[in-house]
Amino acid sequence: MALISIDMEKCIKDAACAAECPVKIIHFQGDFPRAVDGMEGFCINCGHCVAVCPTGALTHKNLAPEECPGIEPELAITPEQTEQFLRSRRSIRAYKKKPVEKELLSKVISLASHAPSGHNTQPVKWHVIHDRDELTKLCGHVVDWMRWMIKEQPQAAALLELDMVVKGHEAGMDIITRDAPHLILAHGRKDNPMAPPACTIALTWLELAFPSFGLGGCWCGFFNAAAMFWPPLQKELGLEDGHISYGAMMVGYPRYSYHRMPPRNVPVITGI
Ligand SMILES: Cc1cc2nc3c(=O)[nH]c(=O)nc-3n(C[C@H](O)[C@H](O)[C@H](O)COP(=O)(O)O)c2cc1C
């Protein structure tokens, strides 16, 4: 089967598919778009050729127009909505005891999986620690890592104020996961340079998606640092072979609502 096939009745020959193909393998011949012979292997299956066609004339070998939901213009958000959406996102550190349903977490993770990735390789895998008792046990390993850091790498430990976190832990406070009911890790292959940015972006999307589902989250830098460097925690996490966690996000139902949007530094911008 050809990489792309064209419904000649529907094709309006606007050349959008060829212009938007990131690897430039769609050309026009005989007035209709077609994949350049021998170049099919360069296709990254991003679906742009199908998604940009206004008439649904183009079918990709792996993707028919019917598999791509339409974009509803009435759901587009205004600049004012975008401003509030982005500015009202907050790191949530106080959660209700109520657990989040596994189906809901799967749904939000599925949405976050639409985040961009280099060459559309989609290298992110997810690991959810749903059981709070298990999370508490894992935090014990994080504290062990912190104690090791304080002893072996005191400068870095001081920079991260790890002694305060350890003291808090000893006093019964969870400064590592903020008593969040769950933790979500985004992980990828250690030898894949596209995995770290993809995981970071996907977790960012996840955090942005949470509020519309009534959820809140917070990056869990302490946990992830330990997950990257502390073998006992890695062993306990049991991620697949050759994988490492590139980011961790707490999640739960927020205990409080925010009512204002605090300012941030004016961005330093050069060139314009
Ligand atoms: C990579 C990263 C790691 C973070 N790690 C933690 C953490 O371990 N614990 C925590 O309470 N907040 C953590 N945060 C949240 C930041 O403290 C928070 O984003 C910042 O204070 C700004 O607040 P806002 O997110 O509500 O705008 C982290 C944020 C990022 C981006």
Domain assignment of residue 74, yes or no: no
Average pLDDT estimate for 84-110: 98
Position 64 scores a pLDDT of 87
Distance of CA 224 to the CA centre of its chain: 15
CATH number at 15 reads 3.30.70.20
If pLDDT is split at 50, 70 and 90, which confidence band does 11 have?
very high
Position 121 scores a pLDDT of 97
pLDDT in tens, 184-234: 999 999 999 999 999 999 999 999 999 999 999 999 999 999 999 999 999
Residue 162, helix vs strand vs coil: helix
**Do both 180 and 98 map to the same domain?**
yes
**Do both 104 and 171 map to the same domain?**
yes
**Do both 131 and 237 map to the same domain?**
yes
**Tokens 């339409």 identify what position?**
70
Domain assignment of residue 75, yes or no: no
Average pLDDT estimate for 53-80: 95
**SS3 track for 197-225:** HHHHHHHHHHHHHHHHHCCEEEECHHHHH
Domain assignment of residue 98, yes or no: yes
Kindly list the strands in the beta sheet with 243-252, ordered across the sheet, starting from the edge strand earlier in the chain: 125-129, 182-189, 243-252, 216-219
Position 99 scores a pLDDT of 98
Question: Given the CA of residue 178, which atom of ligand 1 is nearest to it?
Answer: 11
Q: Supply the residue whose CA is at minimum distance from atom 26 of ligand 1.
A: 90
Q: Supply the residue whose CA is at minimum distance from atom 9 of ligand 1.
A: 220
User: Which stretches of the chain are assigned E, i.e. beta strand?
Assistant: 4-6, 26-29, 32-35, 58-60, 125-129, 182-189, 216-219, 243-252
Q: Supply the residue whose CA is at minimum distance from atom 28 of ligand 1.
A: 219
H-helix or E-strand spanning residue 135: helix 132-152
**Do both 112 and 45 map to the same domain?**
no
CATH number at 174 reads 3.40.109.10
CA of 153 to the centre of ligand 1 (A): 23
Domain assignment of residue 148, yes or no: yes
Q: What is the pTM of this model?
A: 0.96
Residues with CB under 6 A from ligand 1: 90-91, 93, 218-222
Pick the closest to residue 177 from 94, 112, 101 (CA basis).
94
Domain assignment of residue 268, yes or no: no
Position 56 scores a pLDDT of 95
Average pLDDT estimate for 142-150: 98
Other Cβ atoms closer than 10 A to 250:
25
Ligand 1 pocket test, pick from 93, 204, 218 with the greatest ligand atom count within 8 Å of Cβ, gives 218
**Do both 107 and 230 map to the same domain?**
yes
Pick the closest to residue 251 from 139, 108, 146 (CA basis).
108
Which is more confidently placed, 28 or 235? 235
Per the structure, the count of domains in the chain is 2
**Do both 12 and 105 map to the same domain?**
no
Q: Supply the residue whose CA is at minimum distance from atom 20 of ligand 1.
A: 91
CA of 218 to the centre of ligand 1 (A): 6
- The phi and psi torsions of 82 (rounded to 5 degrees) equal -65, -40
**Do both 111 and 39 map to the same domain?**
no
Does 14 have pLDDT greater than 70?
yes
Write the CA distances from 68 to 47, 50, 59, 73, 272, integer angstroms.
9, 8, 11, 15, 37
Average pLDDT estimate for 241-253: 98
Q: Supply the residue whose CA is at minimum distance from atom 31 of ligand 1.
A: 219
pLDDT in tens, 170-183: 999 999 999 999 99
Average pLDDT estimate for 251-267: 98
CA of 119 to the centre of ligand 1 (A): 29
The alpha helices in 12-78, defined as continuous H runs, are 16-20, 48-52
Over the chain, what is the mean pLDDT? Answer: 97
CA of 110 to the centre of ligand 1 (A): 23
Average pLDDT estimate for 13-28: 94
**Do both 63 and 97 map to the same domain?**
no
Does 113 have pLDDT greater than 70?
yes
Position 30 scores a pLDDT of 67
If pLDDT is split at 50, 70 and 90, which confidence band does 240 have?
very high
Domain assignment of residue 76, yes or no: no
**Do both 114 and 248 map to the same domain?**
yes
pLDDT in tens, 71-84: 999 999 999 999 99
CA of 50 to the centre of ligand 1 (A): 38
Domain assignment of residue 26, yes or no: yes
Domain assignment of residue 203, yes or no: yes
Question: Given the CA of residue 262, which atom of ligand 1 is nearest to it?
Answer: 27
Residue 245, helix vs strand vs coil: strand
Q: Supply the residue whose CA is at minimum distance from atom 27 of ligand 1.
A: 90
**Do both 110 and 208 map to the same domain?**
yes
Q: Which domain holds residue 182?
A: 92-252
**Do both 130 and 228 map to the same domain?**
yes
**Do both 18 and 107 map to the same domain?**
no
Helices then strands, counting H and E runs in the chain, come out as: 10, 8
Average pLDDT estimate for 107-111: 98
